[in-house]
Amino acid sequence: MRKRLIWAIPLIGIAFFYACQEKGKFKIWESGPTKVGIQPFGKVGEDEIDSVKTAIERFYDFEVVVLDRIDLPKMAYTEIRYPRYRADSLVRYISDHVPDSVDMVIGLTNKDISVTKYQDAAKTKIKDPEWQYRDFGIFGLGRVGGDACVVSTYRLHGNASTKQYYKRLVRISCHEVGHVLGLHHCPEKKCLMNDANETISTIDKSSGELCQKCWKKIH
């Protein structure tokens, strides 16, 4: 019995150490309340900005401020397939301009945004068919554990009612903020952090909430 206990104590210690390490990766443990800035780009609507602001305040219990509207940076513009803006360049731009007054910034645009999709994590080969994935339109992009993300309203309209359009917008915004907080994609189908997998219907079918596992990681 005593021998078993001797073994158990360091094992519990190791488990506890890793649990703490895991939690340490998430931004929410940093001191003070998290403050989020919304960066409106170009002509994105006031109603869209207000909805995202309220959603992030309620969903994460963060302080949210709206920054001064600016034009989309020319450095992110592309004509690879269509005239639009590269999401990764936008995230980099936003990250380079995070004001000292906030912890992270979410960019909002009504223009189409895109990324290159790869087959592998090392990004050595573009996903097949290459013509489609070299410059692929997306809803939003967030850097895991970074300080910036971007959301586009461009692909959210479809046949959606106004109510459904705003539901999509706030879900994607909270999803991208989740990435910034350190959350990766979650295999749980109904979880807000589930990968949209290139279709808006994944977002419509989501519960709009974080699953227990994801929730625990940031609380």
Which of the stretches 79-87, 100-108, 145-153, 184-192 binds Zn ion when contact is defined by CB under 5 A? Answer: 184-192
State in angstroms the smallest separation of the CB of 196 from Zn ion.
Answer: 7
88 is an interface residue for Zn ion by CB under 5 A: no
Which of residues 63, 188, 204, 209 is near Zn ion by CB under 5 A?
A: 188
200 is an interface residue for Zn ion by CB under 5 A: no
Token digits of residue 164: 């459904």
Local structure of 217: helix, strand or coil: helix
Which of the stretches 74-82, 98-106, 111-119, 180-188 binds Zn ion when contact is defined by CB under 5 A? Answer: 180-188
State in angstroms the smallest separation of the CB of 67 from Zn ion.
Answer: 23
193 is an interface residue for Zn ion by CB under 5 A: yes
Local structure of 177: helix, strand or coil: helix
Which of residues 91, 191, 200, 203 is near Zn ion by CB under 5 A?
A: 191
Which of residues 44, 108, 156, 214 is near Zn ion by CB under 5 A?
A: 214
What is the length of the chain? 219
Local structure of 38: helix, strand or coil: strand
Token digits of residue 188: 């749980």
> How would you list the strands of the sheet with 84-86, edge to edge?
77-78, 84-86, 113-115, 136-138
186 is an interface residue for Zn ion by CB under 5 A: yes
211 is an interface residue for Zn ion by CB under 5 A: yes
144 is an interface residue for Zn ion by CB under 5 A: no
> How would you list the strands of the sheet with 140-142, edge to edge?
63-66, 35-40, 104-109, 148-152, 140-142
Write the CB contacts of 11 (distance below 8 Å, at least 6 apart in sequence): none
The nearer residue to Zn ion, 45 or 199, going by C-beta atoms, is 199
The nearer residue to Zn ion, 67 or 210, going by C-beta atoms, is 210
DSSP state of 162: H
Whole-number Cα distances in Å, 115 to 13, 64, 119, 140: 43, 27, 13, 10
Which residue's Cβ has the minimum distance to Zn ion?
186
Which of the stretches 15-23, 42-50, 96-104, 207-215 binds Zn ion when contact is defined by CB under 5 A? Answer: 207-215
Instruction: Name the residues that contact Zn ion, by CB under 5 A.
Output: 186, 188, 191, 193, 211, 214
